A and B are shown apart, each in its own frame.
Chain A
Amino acid sequence: MPEDELSFQDKFITSCHTAGIRAEALTPKEALRIEPNVNPQLLGAVRVPDGTIDPFRLTASNILDAEEYGGRLMNYTRVTGLIIENGRVCGVHCMNIKTGELIDIRALQVVNAAGIWGQQITEYADLSIRMFPAKGSLLIVDYRINSMVINRCRKPADADILVPGDTISLIGTTSEKIPYSDIENIRVTPNEVETLLAEGEKLCPIMAKTRVLRAYCGVRPLVSLGDDPSGRNISRGIVLVDHGKADALPGLITITGGKLMTYRLMAEMATDAVAKNLGNTRHCETAEKPLPGANGKNADVHAPQVSIPVSGSAKYRHGERAAKFLSDDKKQNAIICECEMVTRGEIEYAVNNLNAKDLVDLRRRTRIGMGPCQGEMCSCRAAGIVSEMTHADNSENALDSIGEFLQERWKGVRPILWGDAMREADFSYWVYDNLLGYNQLQSLPAPVSEQLFTEQDDNVAVEAA
């Protein structure tokens, strides 16, 4: 950009070359041909090998893979303490945060891979790993405005990366040091939204008129290695601590730091450490084995009756596993989420095979509710299906599920509430509250359906309804 120093470009290219990374300077014209929505005022561009991953797909695939090797996922289970016996960590005390149920899980080795919460876990054993929480916020825009990652060619700063992800693009991120005690209560601030938009527009001017779907923030689990107020220069290096060796507390290993880019290597390092402690010397193979669904949109799934947007989206999300639900069954092919083309079949598959127990889970596995309408069309439809599959006859559960889901969507929409996003939110509110009477239903003494079921006389039941 004109306001950035062009000399940085040369430095960037040379550094890439030194690091063995291909880097090729492009003229503004070439850059515009590849990415037509990029700011036409650009002075130059550098093309480097870059890519994106879909964090939702990646997470779901990892879980699926682990389960297929015998692992077990316990979602919504918070670690409340370490079981320490005879100077050794033998497991964890947990609580199911949905039901309040207390659970103890015993294990020969416990791996602390709790991200920013890793510090808390070690504190249970009076150990200290100093985390350096840096909040990062980003904005999701309605549709893809770029097809490859676009980065500002300057020293890392706020809002200098525009990433395409599935149907959307996201502009990120900010970086702000926060006290460790605040990690549970972070929110996107108006200033951050402003910065993201203003800087984003410089990358792609079209962003000025694109609808922002939601704002999101998270905390980077950086490990404090120096005294840097912005957190920018902190090492993103991987930290692996075998507390048996480091603190004479065997049975516990902490893996932290790093970036998503290195997540698999981190997993390998942690697993190797566990294996070593267990006396297993087998070579780790995960780097060589594709994850479930790795074929993505190239998966060979045969479902001629399904329309291309539906089958294409399903394959993109589930790869070859889409064969498990894409069929010519009309009922299964009913579209539940119209923005992201999620069918009833995909929802049933996610409930049965991907641990989706409610709408919030379902969103992460399938993208329902992630499109422009943010759950307006699909919440009630999907809640019905999930409820049918998991809690027959319990409409209260479906209602709770809708409420929780829409609240969670609302949380992301609130910071960007203007223009079409506001109209959309208002319309959703109107549909769920004014039209469907959501709030009134919530305050009824018992779910309507139960009242109906207990009434034997049909006429009375109709009156009651």
Chain B
Amino acid sequence: MLNLINTSFDNCIKCTVCTTRCPVAEANPDYPGPKQAGPDGERLRIKNPELYDEALKHCTNCKRCEVACPSGVHVGTVIQLAKAKHGGFKKGPREFMLSHTDLMGSLSSPAAPVVNTVTRLKPVKKLLDKTLGIDERRTLPKYTGQTFRSWFNKQSGTQEQFKRKISFFHGCFTNYNDPTVGKHLVSVLNAMNIGVSLMKKEKCCGVPLIANGFFDKARKNAELNMNQFARSLTETECVIATEPSCTMTLRDEYPEVLDVDNSEVKDRIFFASAFIAREFARGNQPDMKPVKLRVAYHSPCHLIKAGGVIHTMELLNSIPGLEVIMLDQKCCGLSGTYGFKKENYSTSQSIGQGIFDQIEALGVDYVVTDCESCKMQVEMNTGHTVLHPLTLLAQSLT
């Protein structure tokens, strides 16, 4: 018998809206959808844990079901926790490699040129496909030779001159793969007379760890991060993250999924767009030059969940000359590590097809999105370069 703590599944009125919004259920007939995998299945699992359905493995934790639910059921969380409780995660070397992003980053980044060349070689991709099950058709993320932290430390002196300060949670991708967004955040905030500081230490927020079932490791990271946040917040106004999934995890998943109390700092964790949009609204808006571009904006699932799309749109709309077309709010299909797995490749691609087609048909200059994983997926599947909103903002300042 379980100790029933999270019983949000009990609020489900069976309207099935969640299932109509689930990208996986739409693309993969083997997945019974969030209603059945979540609240319906939970009653059965409480009755008898043997009634666990292994089809739950197909869920990507995109959280679209939760956004859609009119009853406040934490559908995605119910599913993740059920997977964790009932051994529903396959935790092989591939899962380890894909999910331990900070470990892989700290190993690969120093040897970036070599790693980047090697991982683009056909035979290597074949090997990864055959031995680990990482689909050979995927473009693997590149690593940066100079991490964001080492770049930042070299210029951190300039941050001292600002009276106002925020702490920046850079996340794994910005640090090890591509520091561009981090650099742009620094220049945008500096233009607004706000200085940036980093936590003494930060660990991966845990989103890939949760998605692959490494809950203990994720919890450890969460505890370290929360300690660091508390310390850092004694000197700064708030913590800002530029990656939607990190933001959602730090704020919502820590207490809900990992049972890590973040109530002390939760209200001071902001998604970059939300913070900047609020500053703009208060009059702290630097002069902006026109950026004459036509772009399509793709809203990432986890940003929809975190409720931040509106802020990003506000920022984009504040850039003079920029024409922004909002794409349909559909999932790109990569879902972090999910789409890298060989068995998910075709589902992942067919989920994203709608977005790819829409982008191709629009003929825009760039695609814009806040999420690194969406960026990878769109760049691999369309001829377009994908920019972060902060990059456009930075461009309008110079």
Contact = CB atoms under 8 A, between A and B. Distances in A.
Interface of A: 34-37, 142-147, 166-167, 206, 209-211, 297, 307-309, 312-313, 316, 335, 338-339, 341, 371-373, 376-377, 420, 423-424, 427
A406 to B, nearest CB: 14
Interface residues of B, number: 32
Contacts of A341: 40, 44
User: Considering residues A147, A308, A313, A427, which has the most beta carbons from chain B within 10 angstroms of its beta carbon?
Assistant: A308
B43 A308 contact: no
Nearest to B1: A147
B35 interface: yes
B48 to A, nearest CB: 7
Contact of A377 (B9, B14, B71): B14
Given A143-B10, A209-B7, A427 B32 contact: no
A145 B71 CA distance: 21
Contact of A313 (B14, B16, B44): B44
B11 interface: yes
Nearest to A35: B1
A370 to B, nearest CB: 11
Given A377-B14, A423-B13, A339 B50 contact: no
Interface stretch (B52-60, B128-136, B209-217): B52-60
A146 B46 CA distance: 9
Secondary structure at chain A's binding surface: helix, strand, loop or mixed? loop
Given A309-B51, A420-B71, A338 B13 contact: no
Contacts of B40: 338-339, 341, 371
A134 B268 CA distance: 60
Contact of B1 (A34, A424, A427): A34
Given A143-B9, A339-B40, A377-B14, 9 more contacts: A142-B43, A144-B46, A147-B1, A167-B46, A308-B54, A309-B44, A371-B40, A420-B11, A423-B13
Interface in B20-56: 32, 35-36, 39-44, 46-48, 50-55
Contacts of B53: 307-309
Contacts of A35: 1
B15 interface: yes
B152 to A, nearest CB: 47
A101 B52 CA distance: 48
A297 B48 contact: yes
B71 A210 contact: no
B2 interface: yes
Contacts of B47: 143-144, 166-167
Nearest to A142: B10
B234 interface: no
Nearest to A32: B3
Interface string B45-86: 011101111110000000000000001000000000000000
Contacts of A147: 1
Contacts of B41: 309
B284 to A, nearest CB: 43
A420 B43 contact: no
The 3 closest A-B pairs by CB, nearest first: A36-B3, A373-B14, A147-B1
Contact of A206 (B4, B11, B16, B71): B4
A37 B71 contact: no
B286 to A, nearest CB: 48
Nearest to A147: B1
A308 B13 contact: no
Contacts of B39: 372
Contacts of A34: 1
B79 to A, nearest CB: 13
Given A36-B2, A420-B71, A167 B14 contact: no
Contacts of A143: 4, 7, 9-10, 42-43, 46-47
Contacts of B12: 372
User: Considering residues B16, B36, B47, which has the most beta carbons from chain A within 10 angstroms of its beta carbon?
Assistant: B47
Contact of A427 (B13, B35, B52): B13
10 contacts: A36-B2, A142-B10, A143-B47, A147-B1, A166-B47, A167-B47, A211-B11, A420-B10, A420-B11, A420-B13
B162 to A, nearest CB: 48
A376 B7 CA distance: 21
B11 to A, nearest CB: 5
Contacts of A376: 13-14
A338 B4 CA distance: 22
A37 B1 contact: yes
A154 B16 CA distance: 44
A292 B7 CA distance: 36
